[in-house]
Structure 1
Amino acid sequence: MDFEQMKEQFLALLSNKSLALATISQPRQKSNELKRVKLKPIELKGVYMIQLEYQYERILKHENIPLHAFNEHWDKLLEQFRQIHAAFADQTIHIQLSKKNKVLWKSDQQSTAKEINLSHNRKKQYLLDADTPYPFLIRLGVQTEDGKVKKQKYDKFKQINRFVEFIDDSLVYLPKDRQIRILDFGSGKSYLTFALYHYLKIEKGYNIRVTGLDLKKEVIEDCNRIAKDLSYDDLEFLVGDINDYNEESHVDMVVTLHACDVATDMALARAVKWGAQVILSVPCCQHELNRQLNSPALDVMIQHGLIRERFASLATDAIRAELLSLVGYDTQLLEFIDMENTPKNILIRAYYTGKKATKEQRTNYDDFVSFLHATPFLQKELSTLLAD
């Protein structure tokens, strides 16, 4: 079999839609940063496609190609690599190419045809793949050494991926021509801080500097050790309180996860005053409004402690979102997966657009807080901007 026949025969096998998985490897040039490419069939919106996973030294990239458009990509791959190993429904083939493209083709027929179940490929397509080893997830105990997600950590893996989706959605609002400054208030064990750094720095190649801030000295020391072990040179963790952190004049992204009560408001106010383009906040323990509520029209509902607490939490986050909108942010309240399965799973996502609020928006906000007899902490913190 010559080189052209090999190309045509492999494409003919692909056209039968019987591919299970293929790996293309052995770069022709040692200097090639692309180490291997994996192929697998997926179905997106009813269309059969080949997903290419490009594996670099520290970066993974994905591309989905309709089957009819795969030929051009096939040619480019063969220009770069010399080995193909592919599993099809009825056979496994191994192709080895010499420097001059002499072909060695080996095929092992399967005694029983293997069913290619595309429903498996319709599962959630995570930005961080469940079958790919990530050094930071291994180091944090979410994955085993061979890259399998631990059963007891699967909720955490889903939470991390949900957070990475929010980061990915935010990319358009981040600067491209300079280093991006990111602060994470209340970083704790820092699963999501490490995920943020990995995705932006390793996967996307952004120039970033990230600081995680938390009060627990032992946790901070452990996070710094992990960052050093992973060679995450632009990631640091500091012991400190949100209210006492005055080291910045401008920040591009502020993350605050489960900062308790008005600590969330402190972080949001700092983010606004620093001119943050992106704010991601998961609030916690919203007690302030609960203490202030004094609206007889709500007594039928808030006479019950449980209902009062839940209403106060929801109203607090609605107020926070509206205040951010009033000072120029496009703000949404979104569901966020929480690994402890608590109701504290609302994420405030705000992108700065500079859009001026209308008089109607301000009137509606004032009427709402007046109805509740509330004076929110964040409103006081942003009073100067709200007066403009």
Structure 2
Amino acid sequence: MQFEELVAELTSRMISGTFISGTISQSRTKTDDLKRVKIKPVELKGQLHIQFEYQYERILKHENILPDALQTYMQQLLEQFKQVHAEFSDEKIHVQISKKFKVMWKSDKVLSGKVADLSHNRKKNYLLDENTPYPFLVRLGVQTPDGKVKKQKHDKFRQINRFVEFIDDSLAYLPKDRTVRILDFGSGKSYLTFALYHYLRIEKGLDIKVTGLDLKKEVIEECNVIAQDLGYDNLEFLVGDINDFNDETSVDMVVTLHACDVATDMALARAVKWGAKVILSVPCCQHELFSQLESPALDVMLQHGLIKERFAALATDSIRAELLSLVGYEAQLLEFIDMEHTPKNVLIRAYQTGKKSSAEDYARYHAFKNLLNADPFLERELGDLLDQ
């Protein structure tokens, strides 16, 4: 099979109605930040699209392509990568593309009975089923006792499930041979803290100890009552903030949601110094960089207060992710449903991998920082680790 025939054949099969999912991987260039592309069919407004999920080292991007434009996209991707896996309702295929674009096609017939799930706009397959009663969701007023999500709580239910997806993705990085220590800074009403405990302890059976920390005494008292009522023996809530919490020397997972401005950086720095395997952080109120920004090359943007504020927030979180990467984490900026602030927000997800950063990595970071005239609080907090 010739390369052009491969492109045409895959494109045709992907819109035939039998396509379930696929992965394009093995980049031809080691310097390519795009690691792999996952593909699946989705239905949007009654019309078939093919969804491309671009998995970069630190971020994910999605693009939905109509059938008419699909062949062009596939050709561009297959010119960049050497391997394709694809699953259809009656067949699995594996394709290798050589340096000279010779095609090796392997096919296995299957009788799985699978059909394509086009449910982009249809009912979401949640990790927490929306028709199953969960004691913590009933107690928190999200569900009725028979398991129905209350009308005014559908947004909260989606937010909780999105968070549980992040927790599920993190399972591989958590220890299995001892108690997993988890801290949640700024836990607030603790919808997500209870969800985390339920999913890891009840659904997955992990041995965990979770502490939620918040400054509001009355909220903490109420959360402790709920935890006791639910029989969540290894879930506790304490009054305090990140600066008060010095009882731990080692923590496996740190969660920080809506810590304002540099309080997020304090939590990230503490997590790194504890050697946390997993960090999940949803920042807010990123004011620090806004007051520092001074870059004539960006004046066309920064002369507008609204744009400057948004740019500062995005640049702040980009700097945070880059600094985490420099100290041995795989860091990504992901979209998070957050109904309390904006319809969509950024979540920083970082896994400790111990990967060593190169001189080029440091140079790239410093070039960006210097462009903005930035003096990041988090960099100062991680100073000793960055010097190493």
Q: Secondary structure at the match of 1:337?
A: strand
Pair 1:198 & 2:198 matched: yes
Structure 2: distance between partners of 1:260 and 1:333: 18
**For residues 7-54 of structure 1, what are the alpha-carbon distances to aligned partners after superposition, in whole Å with 9 as ceiling and x for unaligned?**
xxxxxxxxxxxxxxxxxxxxxxxxxxxxxxxxxxxxxx8759xxxxxx
1:296 equivalent in structure 2: 296
Deviations 1:167-208 (A, max 9, x none): 000000000000000000000000000000000000000000
Task: Find the residue that maps to 1:346 and give its secondary structure.
Answer: strand
Distance 1:285 1:119, change over 3 A: closer
1:261 alignment partner in structure 2: 261
What residue identity is the alignment partner of 2:369? V
Structure 1 residue aligned with 2:355:
355
Using the TM superposition, give the Cα deviation of residue 123 of structure 1 relative to its aligned residue in structure 2, in angstroms.
Answer: 2.6
Uncovered stretches (5+) of structure 2, i.e. residues with no partner? 1-86, 91-110
Aligned to 1:8: none
The alpha carbon displacement at 1:241 in A equals 1.2
Is the CA contact 1:283–1:344 (under 8 Å) kept in the aligned structure 2?
A: no
CA distance in 2 between counterparts of 1:319 and 1:349 reads: 13
Cα-to-partner distance string for 1:124-159 (whole Å, 9 max, x where unaligned): 110000000000000000001111001110010000
Q: Aligned in 2, Cα 1:297/1:259: closer, same or farther, shift over 3 Å?
A: same
**Offset, 1:119:** 7.2
TM-fit CA distance, 1:341: 5.8
Aligned residues: 280
Return the alpha-carbon distance in structure 2 between the equivalents of residues 124 and 358 of structure 1.
41
Counterpart Cα distance in 2 of 1:150 and 1:180: 33
1:276 aligns with 2:273: no
- The alpha-carbon distance between structure 1 residues 234 and 341, as it changes in their structure 2 partners (threshold 3 A), is same
Label 1:306 to 1:165 Cα distance change in 2 as closer, same or farther (>3 A): same
Q: Which residue number in structure 1 is paired with residue 37 of structure 2?
A: none
Instruction: Name the aligned partner's letter for residue 143 of structure 1.
Output: Q
Query: What is the one-letter code of the residue matched to 2:317?
Result: D
Q: How do 1:206-245 residues align onto structure 2 when only pairs under 5 Å count?
A: 206-245=206-245
Distance in 2, Cα, partners of 1:120 & 1:242? 39
Aligned partners of 2:122, 2:313: CA distance in 1, in Å? 36
CA-CA distance at 1:299 after TM superposition: 1.3
The 10-residue stretch of structure 1 (179-188 or 343-352) with the greater mean CA deviation from structure 2? 343-352
Structure 1 residues 307-356: Cα deviation after superposition (integer angstroms, max 9, x where no partner) = 11000000000000000000000000000001236166100000000000
SS in 1 for 2:170: helix
Whichever of the two has the greater Rg, that structure is 1
For 1:339 and 1:192, how far apart are their aligned partners in 2?
A: 13
Q: Residue 194 and residue 298 in structure 1: after superposition, are their counterparts in 2 closer, same or farther (change >3 A)?
A: same
Query: Which letter does structure 2 place at the counterpart of 1:127?
Result: L
- Tell me, what secondary structure is at the counterpart of 1:268? helix
- Work out the CA distance in 1 between the residues paired with 2:313 and 2:263: 14
8 Å Cα contact 1:142/1:153 also seen in 2: yes
Distance 1:335 1:357, change over 3 A: same
Distance, in Å, in 2 between the alignment partners of 1:343 and 1:297 is 31
Asked if residue 161 in structure 1 is aligned to residue 161 in structure 2, the reply is yes
Q: 1:371 & 1:343 partners in 2: Cα distance?
A: 30
Percent same amino acid among aligned pairs?
Answer: 77
1:385 pairs with 2:385: yes
1:324–1:331 contact (8 Å) kept in structure 2? yes
Higher RCO (C-alpha under 8 Å, 6+ residues apart): 2
| 2: CA distance, partners of 1:298 / 1:123 | 43
Which AA in structure 2 matches 1:280?
A: L
Separation of aligned partners in 1, 2:335 and 2:376: 23
Deviation at 1:120?
Answer: 11
Partner of 1:79: none
Give yes or no for contact 1:284–1:344 (8 Å, CA) kept in 2. Answer: no
1:356-371 to 2 correspondences below 5 Å: 356-371=356-371
For 1:206, give the aligned amino acid: L
Moved over 4 A (4+): 45-48, 66-69, 118-122
Contact 2:321-2:333 at 8 Å conserved across structures: yes
Unmatched segments (≥5 aa) in structure 1: 1-44, 49-65, 70-117
Aligned partner of 1:321 in structure 2 is 321
Give the aligned partner of residue 248 of structure 2.
Answer: 248
Are the counterparts in 2 of residues 253 and 278 from structure 1 also a CA contact under 8 Å? Answer: yes
Considering only aligned residues, what root-mean-square deviation do their CA atoms show, in Å?
A: 2.1
Question: Counterparts of 2:141 and 2:269 in 1: how far apart (Å)?
Answer: 34
- 1:338 aligned residue: 338
**CA contact 2:160–2:192 (8 Å) conserved in 1:** yes
Instruction: Tell me the secondary structure at the aligned position of residue 243 of structure 2.
Output: helix
Q: Residue 68 and residue 124 in structure 1: after superposition, are their counterparts in 2 closer, same or farther (change >3 A)?
A: closer
- Output the CA distance in 1 between the equivalents of 2:246 and 2:162: 30
